[in-house]
Structure 1
Amino acid sequence: MRTALTDLTGVRHPIVQTGMGWVSGPRLVTATARAGALGILASATMTPDQLRSAVREVRSRTDAPFGVNLRADAGDARERVRIIVEEGVRVASFALAPSKELIAELKDAGVVVIPSAGARRHAEKVAAWGADAVIVQGGEGGGHTGSLATTVLLPQVVDAVDIPVIAAGGFHDGRGLVAALAYGAAGVAMGTRFLLTSDSTVPDAVKARYLAATVRDITLTTAVDGLPHRMLRTEMVAELEGAGRMRALSRAVRQAARFRRISGHSWPGMVRDGLALRHGKGLTWGQVLLAANTPMLLRAAMVEGRVDVGIMASGQVAALIEDLPSVGMLVGRVMAEADDALASLPLRERNDSAARSGSVAPSGPAADSSPPGA
């Protein structure tokens, strides 16, 4: 299925595996690239040296295109950009809007720049600054997310910008891909669905917790870091929501120190990142400390398998997912489902029937049997 996304990035299928911290490592990204979709390495939980090593590991296993996700507000963002350029990575994606200068630097080096946005005005801004495409995530998506549903946000952004738009938030199958294409998107991005595959390194006990989740088990909370964060409702989430301010801050300071040791970040660097986060989101210093705590709470679950003391970011689609296919099986299934969905559209059936009876004479674009978005 050829769309503006496949043309832009060189992948075979209009599907993106998002950059999830502690989850989107070399194994998952390699499997995604081999399956013909766009895999994205999550670099925010890696040191620069670990990032370079991860890029080289993926490159040694496949020559298919893949990308790296960056935090635009990180103090070492330019160092990570240099690694992307030097290692010949095809795509750079961003969790926050990168600066106009950072976009220009990457584009000058031939890197495709795809920021993420949760509002139309943010998409318009990065498009004006030269981004090649934009991922727009509706409130159904996991992790930090907004309040606007994908079905409302997506058409707004498609109508507002003249670059390819990739839909995120609520996608897990081929029907969703076809729906996104019908809205005018060039493809879909999925996080939770790729997390729940056999190629994901997330511990089995954590995957089981996701598979058992119902819609009521997925919540949106500000208790973790002061920002709206969609995740599974767990013991830790309940504890954080019930914790007093001082207790939460004390825990955050301890966890921030642990994250510094694991990530290799310096205290001055973490303070700079905190300042950028505070400025960009209007957070109090207390919220900044809580935000510094988040990577370790995610690591406790996603790496250590501690569902009792960790948090598990999750899109609402977790309630619809019941299996753990390989990435190759997943991508193949999504594309087969998309083909079936296109073939079974009632409108198409009626048009085909009318054309055979002679009551409709297809001409021009209407006669093209290419799928929407192609």
Structure 2
Amino acid sequence: MIRTKLCELLDIEYPIIQGGMAWVATGELAAAVSEAGGLGIIGAGNAPANIVREEIQKVKKITDKPFGVNVMLLSPHVDQVMEVVVEEEVAVVTTGAGNPGKYIKDLKAIGAKVIPVVASVALAKRMSRFDVDAVIAEGNEAGGHIGQLTTMALIPQIVDATDLPVVAAGGIADGRGLAAVLSLGAVGAQIGTRFVCATECIAHDNYKEAIIKAKDREAIVTARSTGHPVRNLKNKLTRKIEKMERENASKDKIEELGVGRLKRAVIDGDVDKGTVMAGQVAGMLTKEEPAVDIITDIVAVAEEVLEKSCGLINN
């Protein structure tokens, strides 16, 4: 059995965290992943606090195992969402798009583990000055908003730069990926795109089908000119954005075009004109399956890969 420092830190069976994807990572998915031995995460996104509370309570009705909430620090509702997280005594809080420093005291008071997402060595070092428990280092192979460095290059540099446990994210979908990032010094993996294709995920069937049908080069990056690049699957929307960028459209115009497009794809199923966020691993995925089967497969393959690697050394 693969058991790392992350398992002890979060009281989970396997070193796998499910990504906190807005609109996608609801209570149903988070509960299923936690029940299967990983750490399920609710993606708060820009949702108001009452919606986040509903999702938290949904998880509590399904499982008594640890789960977390991903809080976007740029959300207009972030203060109220953090209040709900504290009131509901959520075990783990991952954060993105900012510095969680102002909230750490209250989160620590309820015993929560605080794990910010970082995309650079500089940000990881900055987070190490706060009372956080680990960092999630996300390479640009990931779906959604991304940084510049690849997972392969980012993980060892952050491992070397900080004493905090490092969770790898971006470009990980199977046991080979988990084994690889463990070899790079990570204590576990955060996985997003593959869990979109979990049976328990509420994403529209069209969204899941788009990911399953995607080829290796279809998860592209758009909106680089805005300073907030996004990885998503090619469609009519991405082509329109690319055209706008070629014509030097303003940042505001491009960002205005993207408003509401993720919900349009995830909930409404419009995968032509909606934002189909997915990582480069989309080309590896072939089916929808229960979260427990996803985790079982990842762990089994990782164990096999690591055993073979040890065998190569011994031989």
The offset of 1:295, in angstroms, is 5.0
Matched, 1:308 2:309: no
For residue 339 of structure 1, the aligned residue among 303, 306, 315 is 303
SS of alignment partner, residue 115 of structure 1: strand
SS of alignment partner, residue 231 of structure 1: strand
SS of alignment partner, residue 275 of structure 2: coil
The root-mean-square deviation of aligned C-alpha atoms, in Å, is: 2.1
Aligned to 1:55: 56
Aligned to 2:93: 92
1:263-342 matches, within 5 Å, as: 287=251, 290-291=254-255, 294=258, 296-342=260-306
Give the whole-Å Cα distance in 1 for the aligned partners of 2:237 and 2:64.
41
The offset of 1:350, in angstroms, is 4.3
CA offsets per residue over residues 165-203 of structure 1, 9 Å max, x none?
Answer: 000011011111111111110100011111122221111
Give the whole-Å Cα distance in 2 for the aligned partners of 1:110 and 1:292.
39
CA contact (8 A) 1:299 1:310 kept: yes
Per mean C-alpha deviation after superposition, the further-off stretch among 153-162 and 215-224 is 215-224
Give the whole-Å Cα distance in 1 for the aligned partners of 2:30 and 2:247.
40
Identity level (%)? 33
Q: TM-score, normalised by structure 2?
A: 0.94
Aligned to 1:348: 311
Aligned to 2:130: 129
CA offsets per residue over residues 123-180 of structure 1, 9 Å max, x none?
Answer: 1111111211100111111111122111111000001111110000110111111111
Per mean C-alpha deviation after superposition, the further-off stretch among 151-160 and 202-211 is 202-211
CA contact (8 A) 2:21 2:45 kept: no
Give the whole-Å Cα distance in 2 for the aligned partners of 1:293 and 1:107.
39
Aligned residues: 314
CA contact (8 A) 2:16 2:191 kept: yes
Aligned to 1:194: 195
Structure exhibiting the larger radius of gyration computed from Cα positions: 1
CA contact (8 A) 1:45 1:295 kept: no
Seen in structure 2, the aligned counterparts of structure 1 residues 225 and 207 have a Cα distance that, compared at 3 Å, is farther
Gaps in structure 1 of 5+ consecutive residues: 249-285, 354-374
CA contact (8 A) 1:225 1:294 kept: no
Seen in structure 2, the aligned counterparts of structure 1 residues 303 and 183 have a Cα distance that, compared at 3 Å, is same
SS of alignment partner, residue 17 of structure 2: strand
Q: TM-score, normalised by structure 1?
A: 0.79
CA contact (8 A) 1:23 1:195 kept: yes
Seen in structure 2, the aligned counterparts of structure 1 residues 236 and 224 have a Cα distance that, compared at 3 Å, is farther
Seen in structure 2, the aligned counterparts of structure 1 residues 160 and 207 have a Cα distance that, compared at 3 Å, is same
The offset of 1:2, in angstroms, is 2.0
The offset of 1:76, in angstroms, is 3.0
Seen in structure 2, the aligned counterparts of structure 1 residues 291 and 69 have a Cα distance that, compared at 3 Å, is farther
CA offsets per residue over residues 293-321 of structure 1, 9 Å max, x none?
Answer: 54510111100001122011111000111
Seen in structure 2, the aligned counterparts of structure 1 residues 124 and 244 have a Cα distance that, compared at 3 Å, is closer
Higher helix share: 1
SS of alignment partner, residue 128 of structure 2: helix
Give the whole-Å Cα distance in 2 for the aligned partners of 1:176 and 1:303.
29
CA offsets per residue over residues 336-368 of structure 1, 9 Å max, x none?
Answer: 1111112211x43442x5xxxxxxxxxxxxxxx
CA offsets per residue over residues 196-222 of structure 1, 9 Å max, x none?
Answer: 222211111221111111122221111
